[in-house]
Amino acid sequence: MQHSPVGVDHDKMAGLTTFLLIWIVSSLKDTAEAYRFPSHHLHRRDTLPGTWTALGCWTDNVGGARTLSAAAYTDTVSMTIESCINFCSTGSNAYVYAGVEYAQECYCSDYFSSGATNVTSSDCNMPCTGNASEFCGAGNRLDIFWSGSQPPSPPVLVASVGNWSLLGCYNDSATRALPYGIGVTGSVTVETCTTACYNAGYPYAGTEYADECYCGLTIENNSGPTANTDCDMTCAGNSSELCGGPNRLSMYNYTQPLPTSPGVNTGGNPVGGSSTVSHVTSGLTGSWTYGGCYVDNANGRVLGNEFDSSSMTVESCIANCAGQNFTLAAIEYSTQCFCGDDLINGATKAAESDCNMGCGGNATEACGGPNRVSVYTSTGNVTLLPVPVLQNTSLPGQWAYQGCLPEPTGSRMFPYELDWTTNNTVDACLNQCAAFGYPAAGLEYGEQCFCGDISDVTANDGTFVSDSECNVACSGDPIHLCGGASKLSTYYWTGTMNQWNTPANTGYYEFFIGGLVVPLIATVGINNKVTFLEKWGTSEYDNSTGAYELDLSLVDNYQLAWREMHVKTDVFCSGSIVLPDKGARLINVGGWSLESTFGVRLYTPDGSPGVNGTNDWEENVDELTLQRGRWYPTAMMMPNGSILVVGGESGSNASPQPSLEILPKPPGGDTVITLDYLQRTDPNNLYPFLLVMPSGRFFIGYYNEARVLDPVTFDTVTVLPNMPGAVNNFLAGRTYPMEGSAVLLPQHAPYTDPIEVLICGGSTIGAAIALDNCISIAPEVENAAWTLERMPSKRVMPCMVTLPDGTYMILNGAHQGVAGFGLATDPNLGALLYDPSSPIGQRISILNNTIVARLYHSEATLLPDGRVLVSGSDPQTYYPNGSFVYPEEMRVEVYIPPYLNQGLRQPEFTISVTDWALGGQYSIAVTLFQGTTSTMRISLVAASSSTHGNVMSGGRIIFPEFSCSGTTCTITAPPNAFVCPPGWHQLFILDGPTPSHSAWVRIGGDPGQLGNWPAYPDFTTPGV
């Protein structure tokens, strides 16, 4: 009989629906992966055994039938592409196609089902259980491989076997057309089934679902012929024959008198009054006892977890169920074993004589009957649960039931799928969708939960059907229904789940200047010029010098605006911060390979607007280096004035560098400290997030984990909860290569509120589905927990910029992919504004769009006039003919935020003292054009460098205490280096919403004496 076609249980793995013979496969071979990961990411196999090649990702279970179903096996621990191909090409399993699904399943066949379609490779996104670096399909998605051989001729409905003649394809259901299921000798074929029915004395024989055989004296229950194409599944024992289909019998009639009639039991056959078959009531293992004969399939299966064997016995079924810790075992049709803890779907007792079929492996034992199960219990109890019903009351939150919704043909109604084969419930599904901000939820096949938007139903022309078609019990709640076959029990959130603001004033993008190169790192110096660092040695441009400075006051004159600078080693994927020394030097550490990974480079900004400086980057690898080579490291200024450098790899796609070190190097020998959690999570933790908290402790975020560190020993003080990822993938990550962006939320005097960390965007392992949420946490509160807010769109490789009013722009990146060359598609061209002063769920506003794709290696930086400079994009994504999909982007834009788009004059101020002590008081004279000092605000935005979405100051913004007398205002500097680590800040005043131009102030001096370091004659030391 037919079973639900989803999940890992796959009880009918031998069948296959109508076949589309694939003779010409070369065109399919061209559907290679849309992208490839670098060596340290999950990837699709480039090298396969022998002549096998990949055909891409294909649908499975369309209409309830397997795409490849001649042979199959499941390996929950060791499945790989290679092991599946070996299984499908060895001995009797010599098939031309092999497919891996759901991480742990392997299927073989010589044919594809007619409903199978080739889909995007990103649908096949689950790592193999035996090799986490390979893809092994996904739920109802197969990664399929071809041996290169041509398939044999397609299977057919056998017209006759001896005196048996084909009547055609007949419909079948829970009330059987042929009531007697029968065991066969060997596997099911037309020959073995008709032989079994002939021996049992029945003139009608039917094969169904590839490996089931039924007999009868007449065709019952109004069964009649259907289209022969409905019987489209290959026989389990002969791939050249068709043996019925889902709820379809290949029906045969014996055209001569039979020598015997039903009544003599031969194992699996129904018997008359003289039968010796009986229930097993003694001698069973442990506490198992006979529990009675029960009706099956009156309202659906009364037990699941099926195991079939032609040599089935009561003892072997009990052993199978006990081994899985179930308390009930039930045997049906002589060869089928089912396990569970309760009888579901309104199971009722049947007459004991109904369980009259001898077991396939012991003809003296009763093994159920047609739609009858012989039940055994280990507890002495058999609990009967009612027929499941729709759950439309007592729902969590503001969810309401909408109806039964068919899936659209060839696709999904909702994009996010969760497969819960044993624990799916309506409440669990709705709560999961709500937790990730999805206001529409659907449950299907009993064990699948889908999340999405109500607009998905409109986009897919969804039309509700009768609730009776959503008729499958929930896998974790057998008294409620969770959809049906390709039907969704659908629920909507009736309140407001995500309030994304759409202000009339969104600001806008504006072209700023044409660039010279594609920058990797952008930093605003205290000379109010922007320093760009670019790949050098690996640059696409032979004449690149690796460094350039942009004079913001000269952007109308391209020839004068740019100043050429120079580096000596390759800064590709290095880290930068601004030092607290008197010269506000930029330091850059790490790099691409060899000596560049050890590089320490320094530049002292000089010149002034309109006047070129003369300083350049200084570097000498023979004098000043890191202790470990680092590619993709993060740098952070510590409260004591030293520089913390963490993480990376030892070179391009090389071994991990899961450690930290300090600059200047402490005295003594090797002072590097290994971090086991970075070792464990490599390579998904590059460019980790590092932030100083007001307690003086450090926050570190890496991959999907975070912890609080002691600032002296660097020991872990607190392991924080794992970061939420995607609604259907908790393995999603936030640091490179699944790159999101992180900032500290504002600190306000008197600095008593817990500091919060905000992280937006990221992606998933495997399919690289970008995340559409931001998460935040107060790391040092008791029982710290992440709060999730959904964004209006997915985004990986975002940049976040702290604005002087305490809001944050989120921009750049892609809707799909991960960071790296050629690894992302579908640029996200829209900008967002995040306002932490608004309530949770109402903080995001949708701003304007650009026409420029900003993907890998893009930056966003706050300028002194309050605009945001937007630069870079180095995707190296090409078509096969060599033309680019997305260009190497040298155009530089600015974004004019809404606060500069109201026609209001920016306030002004003058300042005389710009070197501030912690806790000191300093005066400014202000000129306001809209409001008064009573509504004025003052902010301090820490100097930062932008690269790969990592703001290497944490995007820190402080709103200090101040008081005003007339137009003179006195600002009290932050009290300590924990609230405000030593460094340079842009000081802004805000007249209502409108910020001034900034002035640079240094706060906290140079406690680490970096201004006197390094003490080499070829380095300039500006002093402390």
**Does residue 664 have a cis peptide bond before it, meaning omega lies within 30 degrees of 0?**
yes
Lowest-pLDDT range of 4-13, 228-237, 740-749? 4-13
Query: Is the pLDDT confidence value at 85 over 60?
Result: yes
* Spatial distance between the Cα atoms of 330 and 344, rounded to a whole number of angstroms: 13
Quote the mean pLDDT of the chain. 90
* Spatial distance between the Cα atoms of 547 and 534, rounded to a whole number of angstroms: 6
Return the closest-CA partner of residue 842 out of 777, 898, 899, 789. 789
Which two three-digit tokens encode residue 743? 């900032």
Which two three-digit tokens encode residue 951? 């703001």
Return the closest-CA partner of residue 600 out of 614, 617, 583. 617
Q: Are 82 and 75 in contact (CB under 8 A)?
A: no
Between 77 and 857, the more confident residue is 857
Between 149 and 634, the more confident residue is 634
Between the alpha carbon of residue 885 and those of residues 535, 795, 882, the distances in Å are 21, 19, 9
Task: List Cβ neighbours of 504 (8 Å cut-off, separation of 6 or more).
Answer: none
Q: What pLDDT does residue 444 have?
A: 97
SS3 call for 62: helix
Query: Is the pLDDT confidence value at 917 over 80?
Result: yes
Q: Where are the alpha helices (DSSP H) in 834-983?
A: none
Q: Are 846 and 830 in contact (CB under 8 A)?
A: yes
Tell me: the pLDDT tens digits for 305-316?
A: 888 887 899 999
* Spatial distance between the Cα atoms of 384 and 346, rounded to a whole number of angstroms: 7
Task: List Cβ neighbours of 27 (8 Å cut-off, separation of 6 or more).
Answer: none
N residues, the chain: 1024
Other Cβ atoms within 10 Å of 775 Cβ, number: 23
Give exposure, 741-767, as e/b (b: 16+ Cβ within 10 Å).
bbbbbbbebebeeebbbbbbbbbbbbb
pLDDT-based confidence at 116, cuts 50/70/90? Answer: confident
Q: What pLDDT does residue 290 have?
A: 97
Q: What pLDDT does residue 491 have?
A: 98
DSSP label at 760?
E
Given strand 586-589, what is the order of strands in its sheet?
A: 575-578, 586-589, 600-603
Tell me: the pLDDT tens digits for 239-269?
A: 889 999 888 999 999 999 888 877 534 444 4
Query: Is the pLDDT confidence value at 271 over 60?
Result: no
Q: What pLDDT does residue 31 have?
A: 27
* Spatial distance between the Cα atoms of 232 and 209, rounded to a whole number of angstroms: 9
- Residue 948 falls in which region: left (phi positive, over 0), alpha (psi -120 to 50) or beta: left
Return the closest-CA partner of residue 860 out of 771, 761, 791. 761
SS3 call for 691: strand
* Spatial distance between the Cα atoms of 672 and 660, rounded to a whole number of angstroms: 6
- CA 588 to centroid of chain Cα atoms: 33
Between the alpha carbon of residue 151 and those of residues 60, 113, 116, 240, the distances in Å are 20, 13, 17, 11
The β-bridge relationship of strands 747-748 and 741-744 is unpaired
Between the alpha carbon of residue 373 and those of residues 329, 331, 570, 709, the distances in Å are 9, 5, 72, 60
pLDDT-based confidence at 69, cuts 50/70/90? Answer: confident
Between 698 and 883, the more confident residue is 698
* Spatial distance between the Cα atoms of 710 and 639, rounded to a whole number of angstroms: 12
- What are the phi and psi torsion angles at 682 (to 5°)? -60, 140
Task: List Cβ neighbours of 599 (8 Å cut-off, separation of 6 or more).
Answer: 568, 569, 571, 574, 588, 589, 590, 591, 619, 621, 625, 626
Please work out, in degrees rounded to the nearest 5, the angle formed at the alpha carbon of residue 500 by the alpha carbons of 497 and 504: 150
* Spatial distance between the Cα atoms of 395 and 415, rounded to a whole number of angstroms: 23
This model's pTM is above 0.95: no
The β-bridge relationship of strands 698-702 and 705-709 is antiparallel
* Spatial distance between the Cα atoms of 478 and 486, rounded to a whole number of angstroms: 19
Q: What pLDDT does residue 527 have?
A: 98
* Spatial distance between the Cα atoms of 577 and 585, rounded to a whole number of angstroms: 9
- Report the DSSP beta bridge partners of residue 1018: none
Which two three-digit tokens encode residue 675? 């971090």
Place of tokens 């990221």: 762
Other Cβ atoms within 10 Å of 599 Cβ, number: 26
The β-bridge relationship of strands 705-709 and 716-719 is antiparallel
Please work out, in degrees rounded to the nearest 5, the angle formed at the alpha carbon of residue 733 by the alpha carbons of 729 and 734: 140
Tell me: the pLDDT tens digits for 484-514?
A: 989 999 999 999 999 999 999 999 999 999 9
Q: What pLDDT does residue 16 have?
A: 28
Average pLDDT over residues 211-221: 88
* Spatial distance between the Cα atoms of 456 and 441, rounded to a whole number of angstroms: 11
**Does residue 688 have a cis peptide bond before it, meaning omega lies within 30 degrees of 0?**
no
- Report the DSSP beta bridge partners of residue 144: 56, 99
Give exposure, 693-730, as e/b (b: 16+ Cβ within 10 Å).
bbebbbbbbbbbbbbbbebeebeebeebeebbbbbbbe
DSSP label at 203?
S
- Segment holding 971, helix H or strand E: strand 968-972
pLDDT-based confidence at 8, cuts 50/70/90? Answer: very low
DSSP label at 153?
P
Query: Is the pLDDT confidence value at 63 over 80?
Result: no
Tell me: the pLDDT tens digits for 564-591?
A: 999 999 999 999 999 999 999 999 999 9
The β-bridge relationship of strands 372-377 and 289-295 is antiparallel
Query: Is the pLDDT confidence value at 191 over 80?
Result: yes
Between 221 and 449, the more confident residue is 449
DSSP label at 29?
H
* Spatial distance between the Cα atoms of 957 and 744, rounded to a whole number of angstroms: 8
Tell me: the pLDDT tens digits for 277-323?
A: 899 999 999 999 999 999 998 887 899 888 888 789 999 999 999 99
Amino acid symbol at 802? T
**Does residue 415 have a cis peptide bond before it, meaning omega lies within 30 degrees of 0?**
no
Q: What pLDDT does residue 176 have?
A: 80
* Spatial distance between the Cα atoms of 973 and 1004, rounded to a whole number of angstroms: 9
Place of tokens 């001569």: 256
Between the alpha carbon of residue 438 and those of residues 59, 484, 727, 734, 844, the distances in Å are 25, 22, 9, 20, 16
Tell me: the pLDDT tens digits for 511-553?
A: 999 999 899 999 999 999 999 999 888 888 888 899 999 999 9
241 class by beta-carbon count within 10 Å (0-12 exposed, 13-18 middle, 19+ buried): buried
Place of tokens 């084909």: 166
* Spatial distance between the Cα atoms of 602 and 669, rounded to a whole number of angstroms: 24
Between the alpha carbon of residue 341 and those of residues 78, 289, 348, 377, 595, the distances in Å are 29, 14, 15, 9, 64
Task: List Cβ neighbours of 556 (8 Å cut-off, separation of 6 or more).
Answer: none
- Report the DSSP beta bridge partners of residue 951: 946
Which two three-digit tokens encode residue 978? 């924990």
* Spatial distance between the Cα atoms of 301 and 292, rounded to a whole number of angstroms: 16
Amino acid symbol at 494? T
Tell me: the pLDDT tens digits for 893-907?
A: 999 999 999 999 999
Q: What percent of the chain has pLDDT over 90?
A: 74
Dihedral sign (CA 757, 762, 764, 765): negative
Q: Are 1003 and 940 in contact (CB under 8 A)?
A: yes
Give exposure, 958-977, as e/b (b: 16+ Cβ within 10 Å).
bbbbbebeeeebebbbbbeb
